[in-house]
Structure 1
Amino acid sequence: PIYQTVTTTIYNKRLLSDAGVATPPATWEEIKAAAPKLRDKGVALLDYSTSDDASLNLNFYPLLWQAGGRVFAEDGARVAFNGPEGVEALTFLTDLYQQGAIPSSAMDNTNRLGGQALGRRQAAMGYSVVLADAELAARTWGRENVLVGGPLQGPAREAAFGAPGALAVSAKSRHQTEAKKFLTFMIQPEQIRSLGEASGYLSPRSDVVVPIDSPYARQYQAALASASAGEPHTASRRVMSLLAPEIRAAMTGRKSPAAALDAAAAAADEVLRSL
C-alpha cells in the first residue's frame, strides 16, 4: 500500500441552522427526525448518488454495513445484500427519497461534489465525501459553513468507505527484480509522505504521518477507524451493475425494497455460479 483513501460526513452548517437543526444528524434516527425541517425550507437533507457511473462503495454499501449487512456471503459463492440488513438499509434510503429528504437529482448523480445538490447548496449533508471535496465545499460555501463529522452511525455500527491504493507486480512480468526494487523505493516512509502531501491522501502506515494542510485532516484521520475497503471479489463490478438499477427501482417506488434486492440477488447469484 502506498496511500489510503477515506470518506466521511460533511454538513452545510448554514442550511442546517436555517432549518432550526442545531445538532448535525449523525445517526439514521437523527436523519429521519431532521429531514422534515429541511423539507419545510425547500431543501433536501441528504444527497445521494445512484447513476450507473456511481460506485456502490460510496453510496449504498456504507448504509448496508451500517445496518450490519454484507455484500457477499462469507464463502463468496452467493450475495448477501438481500438479507434483513439490506432491506433495512434500502428501506431507510427509499423512505427518505419518497419524502423529499433526498433530491430527485440523486437518480443522475455520480460520486462527485461539483454540480450535485450538495455542492449547489440544495442538500445539507453527504456521507461519503473525500477530503478534497470538503475543501472544495469550503471554497464554494465559505469555510464557516462547512462542518466535517464522523461516519454515519447505523442500527448496527458506524461505517464508511476507505481503501488503500497499492502497487503490485504482475506474476507474468519478465522484470520481477527491477519491479520489486521500484516497489521497495515507493513504500519507503519518505515516498509515502511525499505522495500523500501531493495527493491529499492519508498514509496506509501507522508509522508514517502525512502532514496535510487542511483543518479537516484530523476528522478524516479519525474516520479511518470506521473505514471499510469493501469486500473483494472478482465479480464485484458486475454485481454492482446488477444492483444499482434495482436500487433505483425501489427508490422510485417501482418495486419494494425487498423485491428489488431479491431480483438483484437472483441475477448476481447466477453470475457467481458461472465463475
Structure 2
Amino acid sequence: MRKSVVLALVLILTLSAAGFAQTTIRLWFAGTPQALMDAMYDEMVPAFEAANPDIKLEVEFVPWSELSTKLATSFAAGVTPDIFMHGQAAIAEFVESNQLLPLDEFIADWPDKDDFGATLGSGYYKDATYFIPVFGAGRLLIYRADTFKEAGLDPDNPPTTWDELVEAAKALTVKQGNRFIRQGIDFPADGIDLQQVWAPFLWQAGGAFLTEDGTQAAFNSPEGVESLQFMVDFIYTHGASDVRTAQPVGNVSPIAADLVGMIFEVPGVLAQIKTYSPEVYPEIRVALPTKHVTQDTLYSFSGFMMSRHTVDKEKAWRVMSYLLSADSLEKINQAMATLPPRVSLAEAEFIAEDPNLKVYVEAMQFGRGNPNHPKWVQIRDIVSRYLERAMRGVMSPQEALDEAAKEVNRLLAE
C-alpha cells in the first residue's frame, strides 16, 4: 500500500513537472530603440510569460548594422533564433538558402489575418508566406515651416515636382562664401541610406533596378541616368547641397539644428526631434512624394520570420501572434514612431494626434519596395558603392551606373 502511494506521488510529480516544463523561444528584434526595449522588457515579455507559463521568451535587440552578419553566422552554425526580424527584401535570399519555415498553416486559421490587408502580401514568395510585417517606414521629404517662410516659400505647399524641388532647395540655401550655413537639401553620403533616397527618383523617372525576369540590371537606363543626374546636379549645378552630408549636433538632427532646409527621412526621425528638439517640432512638416513620370516612393516593412531550426513551431507561433496583436503592434510602432501594418491601427491615437505621421500613412499609397530577389543585398551594396562615386564627383552618373550594372550582371550570372 505504502509503495503504491509513493509510486502515485512520483507519477503525479513527474506529470506535474512535465506539464510546467518551459520551452525557451529566442527572438531577435532589429534595431535598438530604447523606448521599445523598455516596453518589451518591462511590460510585453512579462505579460506574455504570465499568460503562457510553458514558454520562456528571450528577446534580443540587434543593431541593424550587425543584423545580416549575425544572422549569417547563426545560419552557418545552425543555431538561429526561433524567430527573427529583417526587412522584406531579405525574404527571397533566406528562402533560397532554406532558412525559413512557411507560415501558411498558422495564418490559415488566424482570425487577425484580414486586419493586415495588403501588407500581408509583403511576406509572400514562391507560393508561400514566410514573413509577417511588424512596422513600416518610408522616406519622405521633411522640412520646416519657419525656414520655408523665411525663404519666401509657402509651407502649406511643399514641392510636388522635380522642378519645384530644385527651386525650393535653391531658395533655402544659405552660404557664407563657399561655406554652407544651411544646405537647401541634404542627401546621404553613402550606403543603404543613399540607395534608399535614390530609389524613388529612379522609379519616378520611370526606371527600375532589374529587368522583369530579374536576370539583368536595368538601372543604367536613360531613366536611371536622368534620376541620378538630378541628384548630382543639386551639388555641382545648383549649389544647393554639399558633397558632405550634414551631421547631427549631438542628438539634434541636422534639420532641427537648421543645417539643412529639406531632408529625406524615415518617420523615426520625428520621434528624435520630439525628444531632443521639442521646441522645433511644431515647425516640422512632411511632404508627399514628388511626381515626375510617376509619384512612387520607397516604403518597406520589417517583420518576423520563423527559422526552420525552431525548437517548437506551435510555441514560436504563439509568440509571433502575441507580438503581432493589435495591442502589441500599437505599442511597438508608437515606441518607434513607425507605421503599423494593421488596417485598424491606421487611426491609432499616436498617429491621429500627429499630422506628420498622418502624411506618412497617406503616402503609403505611393509606396513600393526594393526588389525581392535572392541576391538583392549584394545588388544593393554594389549600387550604393557606385552611387557614392557619382555623388562625390569621382564618376559621371552614366559611368557609375554602367560600372555598377557590369558588376551586378556578373553577380546575376553566377
TM-score (norm 1): 0.86
Q: Is the 8 A contact 1:10 1:134 kept in 2?
A: no
> Structure 1 residue 116: deviation in Å?
6.3
Which one is further off, 247-256 or 79-88? 247-256
> Structure 1 residue 120: deviation in Å?
3.2
> Structure 1 residue 57: deviation in Å?
4.7
Superposed CA deviations along residues 207-250 of structure 1, whole A, max 9, x for unmatched, are 33432153422112111111222212222222222222322322
2:140 to 1, 4, 8: 8
Whole-Å Cα distance in 1 between the matches of residues 195 and 395 of structure 2? 22
| Higher strand proportion | 2
Q: Which amino acid in 1 is paired with 2:368?
A: S
The answer for unaligned runs of 5 or more in structure 1 is: none
Whole-Å Cα distance in 1 between the matches of residues 183 and 312 of structure 2? 54
Identical-pair percentage: 24
Q: Which amino acid in 1 is paired with 2:212?
A: E
Alpha-carbon spacing, 1:189–1:67, altered in 2? closer, same or farther (3 Å):
same
> Structure 1 residue 56: deviation in Å?
4.2
Equivalent residues in 2 for 1:153-232 (5 A)? Answer: 153=291, 155-209=292-346, 210-212=348-350, 213-232=353-372
> Structure 1 residue 115: deviation in Å?
6.5
TM-score (norm 2): 0.59
Q: SS of the counterpart of 1:69? A: coil
RMSD (CA atoms): 2.7
> Structure 1 residue 262: deviation in Å?
0.5
Whole-Å Cα distance in 2 between the matches of residues 191 and 102 of structure 1? 41
Q: Is the 8 A contact 1:11 1:148 kept in 2?
A: yes
Runs (4 or more) in structure 1 with deviation over 4 Å come to 112-117
Identify the residue that residue 72 of structure 1 maps to in structure 2.
Answer: 210
Please state if 1:90 is matched with 2:231: no
Whole-Å Cα distance in 2 between the matches of residues 49 and 237 of structure 1? 18
Whole-Å Cα distance in 2 between the matches of residues 239 and 119 of structure 1? 34
Instruction: Kindly tell me the number of residue pairs found equivalent between the two proteins.
Output: 269
Identify the residue that residue 373 of structure 2 maps to in structure 1.
Answer: 233
Please state if 1:34 is matched with 2:171: no
> Structure 1 residue 134: deviation in Å?
2.5
Please state if 1:105 is matched with 2:239: no
Whole-Å Cα distance in 1 between the matches of residues 159 and 375 of structure 2? 35
The answer for unaligned runs of 5 or more in structure 2 is: 1-132
Give 1 or 2 for the bigger CA radius of gyration: 2
2:402 to 218, 238, 262: 262
Q: Is the 8 A contact 2:252 2:273 kept in 1?
A: no
